[in-house]
Amino acid sequence: MKRKIIYLGIAVLIVGIYALLIAQSLSTMVSVDEWIYDKMIDLLENETYVIEADFNSNTTIVVNIITYQHCIDFKFMDKINYEKFLAGEEYNSIINIEHTANYMLTHWNIEANKTYVVFLSNVGQCFEKMVEVKIGISKAPPRNPTEEKAILVKVGFGMLAVAFWTFMYGLLKEEGS
């Protein structure tokens, strides 16, 4: 009977740790209504690839980049800043990631008929790469599950406390007999 209390404490500990891991894995959620671009690109050594797309206002832009060999450089910016980038002027990009293998970007667009640019670069890299690029839109803004995260963290830490005291009680009962 006394060992069952110890096993119960260990089981509660495992469930508590699992709840904390789930809370840490929650990230921004967005459901894509339509994929407007879905292509596998063969990006050669020292090559760049540009994708331009127009978006309506009040939509979430979702860009998903997956490389299957090594890493690439990835920039996402509006067309005005892309033209500044090409001219060698100072520019602002929404995202500028160097040496990424997989990346998913969500961006809430508020301007009507705005053109955005996905810029992929294999310059300075040494291998040809296959890159899967998907661009989608969603009418709903991205949702950050902060409430769910907070609940899971509270439950997880609560279960860790219960597990500790249950385990200690089981050990004390076992030693007492």
**How confident is the model over 14-53, as pLDDT tens digits?**
999 888 888 877 766 677 888 899 999 888 888 889 999 9
User: How far is 62 from 76, CA to CA, in rounded Å?
Assistant: 11
Residues 6+ away with beta carbon under 8 Å from 149 = 23, 26
CB neighbours of residue 116 within 10 Å: 21
Does the pTM surpass 0.75? The reply is: no
**How confident is the model over 67-119, as pLDDT tens digits?**
877 778 889 999 999 999 999 999 999 888 887 777 777 788 878 888 999 99
CB neighbours of residue 171 within 10 Å: 14
Beta strands in the chain (DSSP E): 34-43, 48-55, 59-67, 72-78, 95-100, 102-109, 114-121, 129-138
Q: Which amino acid is at 121?
A: S
User: How far is 114 from 116, CA to CA, in rounded Å?
Assistant: 7
Nearest by Cα to 124 from 47, 65, 67, 66: 47
Residues 6+ away with beta carbon under 8 Å from 130 = 40, 41, 42, 43, 67, 68, 69
What pLDDT is recorded for position 28? 67
